[in-house]
Amino acid sequence: MDSEATMKKTFWSVCCSIKLFVRSDWYLPSSLLNDITNDFSDDLVIGRGGFAVVYKGMLRNGTIAVKKLNNSLEMHEDNFKQEVTCLVGVNHKNIVRFLGYCSDTQGKMLDYKGKLVMADERQRMLCFEYLPKGCLHNYITDASCVLEWRARYQIIKGVCEGLHYLHQNDIVHLDLKPANILLDDNMVPKIAEFGLSRCFDENQTHATILKAYGTIGYMALEAPNRKIRRELDIYSLGVVIAEILTRQKGYPAVENVLETWKTRMGTSAGILLEQVRVCTDIAIDCMSCDPRKRPHVQHIIDMLSGMESMNVCCTGRVCSKMHSEIMARELHHTEHEVPPDSRFKKTVVLYTTTLGGIMKTFENCNKV
């Protein structure tokens, strides 16, 4: 049995059990990936983006995802190796698992001014675990995919924990959005799409990129400055949480969030409504136009954990102290900055928070 056949057998046996394996070389030959994708058949396409096409890789007893980068993507080999290095070091329950990569250059005959010439064609591919539930985007926008609050809260918490892990390991995602958050069979969220993520050196606080990355609607106002900072991801996280809360896509309005969930849950769901309120406050803070005012992910997780600890004594019911605090909460006004409109004007929103809902009024602000 030759070395490639041996590698294929090992790859199959490992990937069929979908376990992250540790080895010194994560390289996979292009012939192997061609084989499991049926020469990258259109019938096996499961996703398309501006930089890559994702295929199902059909194994004997399972499936993986093979992401084939477009040849038009300008990325130096050293940069690609840096991306792979980031992926190899990632291991968290809320991050899609990386299985291997391919970077091959093959000769290809092309017609050039009526003559056949030999040209080098580079193929770059990344392999990940396959998650058949698809992305969070489908569950936000599809009316038939109804997620109750407990499931939504666990998704919010899981995304926060996954993002915290990335930031702890000096990785900034740069394109966090529901379409890049996949769900496993138990609806556990897993952050995906690290082809455009960037790694920091240990002593770096920020880095510069040659072009702006991200998706309109999830990008912070300062994103076009091309400075890579963790605050960019925090802004995107706020938009994601707001969409999960409102079940609406793109700059979702957050007024009457509590009232809407109160109607769905009933008046006895005080603890769950408190979770809605806290998550709403977190989303608003994350979407501040001033990156210095956005909370760190660790602070967000601490807020969620603290709220859960306070709820433990309630054993599923609202304890009298919490109930009194919720019902007696007076109107309070907190100024927050929110996503600008399509003309990228700065907008200040005055939020009035009550148990019944969140009302907002807009005021234009000429100062940037």
Pair 104, 74 in one domain: yes
Pair 274, 144 in one domain: yes
Pair 84, 214 in one domain: no
Pair 169, 72 in one domain: no
- pLDDT score recorded for residue 360: 35
- CA separation for the pair 304, 299 (Å, rounded): 9
Pair 240, 268 in one domain: yes
The pLDDT tens digits of the residues spanning 357-368 come to: 333 333 333 343
Final residue belonging to a domain, choices 114, 129, 144: 129
| DSSP track, 178-204 | GGGEEE-TT--EEE---TT-EEPPTT-
- pLDDT score recorded for residue 123: 85
The question of whether 175 is a catalytic residue gets the answer yes
Which regions of the chain are under pLDDT 50?
A: 14, 16-24, 195, 202-211, 313, 315-368
Pair 328, 227 in one domain: yes
Pair 199, 346 in one domain: yes
How big is the CA angle at 26 (ends 28 and 132), to the nearest 5 degrees? 75
* CATH number of the domain where residue 30 is located: 3.30.200.20
Q: Where are the alpha helices (DSSP H) in the chain?
A: 3-16, 30-36, 77-88, 136-141, 149-168, 230-246, 257-265, 270-286, 297-312, 320-328
Q: Per the residue annotation, which of 175, 233, 281, 285 is the catalytic one?
A: 175
- The strand pairing partners of 347, in sequence order, are 338, 364
Give me the number of domains the chain comprises: 2
- pLDDT score recorded for residue 155: 97
Final residue belonging to a domain, choices 102, 129, 156: 129
Pair 87, 149 in one domain: no
Pair 142, 93 in one domain: no
* CATH number of the domain where residue 349 is located: 1.10.510.10
SS3 224: helix
Q: For the purposes of burial, counting CB atoms within 10 Å of the CB of 174, is it exposed (0-12), middle (13-18) or buried (19 or more)?
A: buried
Nearest partner of 350 among 340, 368, 363, judged by Cα: 363
The pLDDT tens digits of the residues spanning 2-47 come to: 555 555 555 555 454 444 444 446 889 999 999 999 999 999 999 8
- CA separation for the pair 150, 124 (Å, rounded): 40
Final residue belonging to a domain, choices 129, 158, 173: 129
The pLDDT tens digits of the residues spanning 205-220 come to: 444 444 456 788 898 8
**Number of helices and strands (H, E) in the chain?**
10, 14
Domain boundaries, position 283: 136-364
Pair 228, 140 in one domain: yes
Annotated ligand binding at 68? The verdict is: yes
Pair 69, 182 in one domain: no
Pair 61, 174 in one domain: no
SS3 125: strand
